[in-house]
Amino acid sequence: MAGEGSAQERLDKIAGIIATDLVAEVCSIYVLRAGEVLELFTATGLKPTAVHNTRLQMGEGLVGTIAANARPMALSDAQSHPKFAYRPETGEEIYHSLMGVPILRGGRVQGVLAVQNRTQRHYTDEEAETLETVAMVIAELIAAGELISAEELHAVEGASLLPVTVAGVRLNAGVAMGEAVLHEPRFVIEELVSDNPEEEQQRLKEAVDEMHGAIDAMLQATDVANGGEHRDILETYRMFAEDAGWLARIGEAIDSGLTAEAAVEKVHNDTRARFRNQRDPYLRERLHDLEDLANRLLQHLTGTEGDGVGAEWELPENIILVARNMGPAQLLDYDRTRLRGLVLEEGSATTHVAIVARALDIPVIGRATDLLDNVEPGDIVIVDADEAEAHIRPAEDVQQAFTETLRARAQRVAAYAELRNVPAETKDGVTVSLNLNAGLFADLQSLDETGADGIGLFRTEIPFMESSKYPDVDRQSALYERVLDLSDGKPVVFRTLDIGGDKSLPYWSSFDEENPAMGWRAIRVALDQPVLIRHQFRALIRAAGDRDLSLMFPMITEVSEFDAARALLDRELERAEKRNRPLPKQVHVGTMLEVPALAFQFDALLERVDFISVGSNDLFQFLFASDRGSPRIADRYDALSPAGLSFLGGLARRCDDAETPIGLCGEMAGRPLDAMALIGVGFRSLSMAPSSIGPVKTMIRSLNYGDISRYIQTLQSMPVHSHREKLREFAIDHGVVI
């Protein structure tokens, strides 16, 4: 490749050498040109006039098929293959066997390298490997822009870089536009070939040793007391890292003349190409493991391991972070003022990073299939989390439309900020208490920004999830104290640990359950392992000092569970008293209402609780027997259905009669139309994500309570699927801003 002559001459020479070395009568090289056309650029053994004249579309003939699938092909009887396309100008009819490999660079096809023989030859795997190694070198020759012009090269890249929309699931609502930053950037390998394989093998060996050492250190550093997910992941890494086949293939690639880096990249390219069309989630997952590992090994080879995220790169002003998956702390390493959105190839709503991203109020899309295969660093990306779609390299007009959407949103946000100090009061004077759902210190900042009345739900499991080991009483109490300090006298309702089910902790051994949401979670765990909740009570009592303390229990199913939890709290209060510790001025103890059965012991419950908070996310999944995490049935049942509204209305009425405060802290509280219905059936307290306070307050201030309350009563007896449309019409007719 580095020889004398023009690029064309060097290409001709390469083809000649391959033909001789592999004892093939033909060696042809096709280069992908603008418009997704494969052009024959050189051909030892074919008619010279065919060169630059024979052209194939992607998917056409055997060569086009190799390019389209990005996979090698070796056929002893090529002419009998259904994809064989006869091109008389080449004179190839006399050749029977064919072996071809894609020319790949950065996982993209740039052309095809093929050899042919007259006889029905069986090509060996080693011969295919040799061809692939040469293909990698040719890819660099093409990329250098000497064979086809730099502009055309760009156009070719453009051809395979058309706008793409990848769909996923919404993990946090919102819209953002910016430049893609790959959380784990691909490496650019500068030196491809080496004439000192021994030295390269030695470099590889050292890097592999270093990598093993680093993985072992991580394993040791992981708190192993209870096993845990993190450790499993690292164990899998180590297993792959020691995979003899993988390392042997890298070693072979070095022997064929590549540098250690190029060899790692080559083996990885092959794997990627082979997995490209793999839909099996397990196998795709394994590919990701290998991808991580190849990256790690490259980091050790290039001495860039342990570099801080983006520390020395030029990061764009508007970052759309793209990753397979990442930890919450890694997200917080990025400059928050530039972070606009996050797209993950994996991830679910309860993934830790999604929870942190929600606190940062950036739109997040998860489970965006094929994301990493489609996005390049620096690509413009629109994250439309509302529609659960990411538009990669969107066309100019699409960008413009989104710029407009963003501008309109920004105006709305500014208008909401002005509402900060005005009351959430309907036109006929009914006041609604608006509170925040929180789980991080970052959320507490929003208390002041939004003018919310307090924290209606502090999910204490989030700090537990973020920590790598069980936070002891001291750590918990410092954390709760800080929460109370930052809330500056506004009430905070702490919810005791809601772990188990799908919310796993790294240091907590979880076990498989068929229906984890209905399994061993929340108060069920706490009552079986009382030390856990007693520590939490102790920490909360200590943190409160002589201030008020409000707490509630998740997933209470029957009154006896409330009594048992309350008894444990009383024991901790007595303990503090005996030790002459300050006691909270007042202790308010409530319960979440998330399990329908509890509503059938309502009178007994009302005698015991200071307040009730409806967790509609869980409540509705149990009421409708409809998994809250399943996208397939996400829209099947509606909270604003006759059953949903009459259930909620009944609760509100009974609490009103008993003068027990009731609020709702599920996701529906933050949606203006749903909030309007909740107010209509009698709710006076709602708790929601910070970004929902403005829109819900705006709705309330444009609503007349008397009207909605009367209207909703007329709806209740109708046996329809949902009242949503009727309520929307009501809002439009009555000028309610939803």
Which positions are annotated as active-site residues?
A: 352, 665
Contacts of 612 (CB under 8 A, 6+ apart): 590, 591, 592, 593, 605, 651, 655, 660, 661, 662, 663
The answer to the question of residue 443 lying near ligand PEP (CB under 6 A) is no
Residue list 584-603, contact with ligand PEP (CB under 6 A): 594
The smaller minimum CB distance to ligand PEP, of residues 499 and 655, is found at: 499
Q: Structure tokens of 144?
A: 């250098």
If binding is defined by CB under 6 A, does position 459 make contact with ligand PEP?
yes
Compute the distance between CA of residue 26 and CA of residue 92 in angstroms, rounded to an integer.
Answer: 9
31 membership: H or E segment, kind and range: strand 26-33
Task: Find the part of the chain contacting Mg ion (CB under 5 A) among 25-33, 179-187, 393-401, 593-601.
Answer: 593-601
CA–CA dist 668, 373 (Å, integer): 35
- CA 670-672-674 angle, to 5 degrees, is 80
Among 615, 670, 672, 690, binds ligand PEP (CB under 6 A): 615
- At closest approach, how far in Å is the CB of 687 from ligand PEP? 8
Please tell me the distance from the alpha carbon of residue 465 to that of residue 499, in angstroms, as a whole number: 9
Backbone angles phi, psi at 154, to 5 degrees: -60, -45
First to last CA, the chain: 65
Which residue, chain included where needed, has tokens 């396309």?
Answer: 85
Using CB distances below 5 to 8 A depending on partner kind, what does residue 616 bind out of Mg ion, ligand PEP, none?
A: ligand PEP
Pick 231 or 459: Cβ nearer ligand PEP: 459
Q: Which stretch binds ligand PEP (CB under 6 A): 229-237, 481-489, 602-610, 611-619?
A: 611-619
| 262 vs 72: CA distance, rounded Å | 19
Q: Which is nearer to ligand PEP, 42 or 616 (CB)?
A: 616
Is residue 671 within the footprint of ligand PEP (CB under 6 A)?
no
Binding to Mg ion in span 600-629, by CB under 5 A: 615, 618
- Binding segment for ligand PEP (CB under 6 A), chosen from 76-84, 127-135, 295-303, 614-622, is 614-622
Q: How far is the CB of 612 from ligand PEP (least distance, A)?
A: 13
Instruction: Mark the segment that binds Mg ion (CB under 5 A) among 72-80, 229-237, 397-405, 589-597.
Output: 589-597
CB-nearest residue to ligand PEP: 615
- Secondary structure (DSSP) of 499-567: -BTTB--TTS-----SSGGGSSBTHHHHHHSHHHHHHHHHHHHHHHTTS-EEEEESS--SHHHHHHHHH
Q: Bridge-partner residues for 454, per DSSP? A: 435
Residue 459 beta carbon to ligand PEP: minimum distance, rounded to whole angstroms: 5
Q: Is 616 a binder of ligand PEP (CB under 6 A)? A: yes
Nearer to ligand PEP, 25 or 594 (CB): 594
Please identify, among the stretches 81-89, 163-171, 260-268, 615-623, the one whose residues bind ligand PEP according to the rule CB under 6 A.
615-623
Least CB distance to ligand PEP at residue 106 (A): 41
Strand bridging mode 175-182 / 380-384: antiparallel
Residue 665 touches which member of ligand PEP, Mg ion, none, C-beta under 5-8 Å by kind: ligand PEP
Query: Which residue lies nearer to ligand PEP by CB, 147 or 619?
Result: 619
Site map 489..518 versus ligand PEP, x via CB under 6 A: ---------x--------------------
- Judged by CB, which is closer to ligand PEP: 111, or 615? 615
Q: Give 393's DSSP letter.
A: S
Q: Which of residues 618-677 bind Mg ion (CB under 5 A)?
A: 618
d(CA 387, CA 52): 46
Contact mark string toward Mg ion, 97..136, x via CB under 5 A: ----------------------------------------
Per CB under 5 A, which region of 428-436, 481-489, 511-519, 591-599 contacts Mg ion?
A: 591-599
Residue 674 interacting with ligand PEP (CB under 6 A):
no
Beta bridge partners of residue 74, listed in sequence order:
99
SS3 for 171-228 is EECCEEEEEEEECCCCCCCCCCECCCHHHHHHHHHHHHHHHHHHHHHHHHHCCCCCCC
Cβ 498 to Mg ion shortest distance, Å: 6
In terms of CB distance, is 215 or 505 closer to Mg ion?
505
Cβ atoms < 10 Å from Cβ of 279: 7
How many residues make contact with ligand PEP (CB under 6 A)? 10
Choose from Mg ion, ligand PEP, none: what does 666 bind? Cβ within 5-8 Å by kind: ligand PEP
Residue type, 127: E
The neighbour count for residue 646, using CB atoms within 10 Å, is 14
What CA–CA distance (Å, rounded) separates 738 from 735? 9
* Residue nearest Mg ion, CB atom distance: 618
Give the residue, chosen from 39, 618, 638, 674, that forms a contact with ligand PEP under the rule CB under 6 A. Answer: 618
Burial (0-12, 13-18, 19+ Cβ within 10 Å), 395: exposed
Residue whose C-alpha is closest to residue 689's, from 710, 673, 666: 666
- Identify how many contiguous H helices and E strands the chain contains and give both numbers: 26, 22
**Binding residues vs ligand PEP (CB under 6 A):** 457, 459, 498, 594, 615-618, 665-666
**Binding residues vs Mg ion (CB under 5 A):** 594, 615, 618
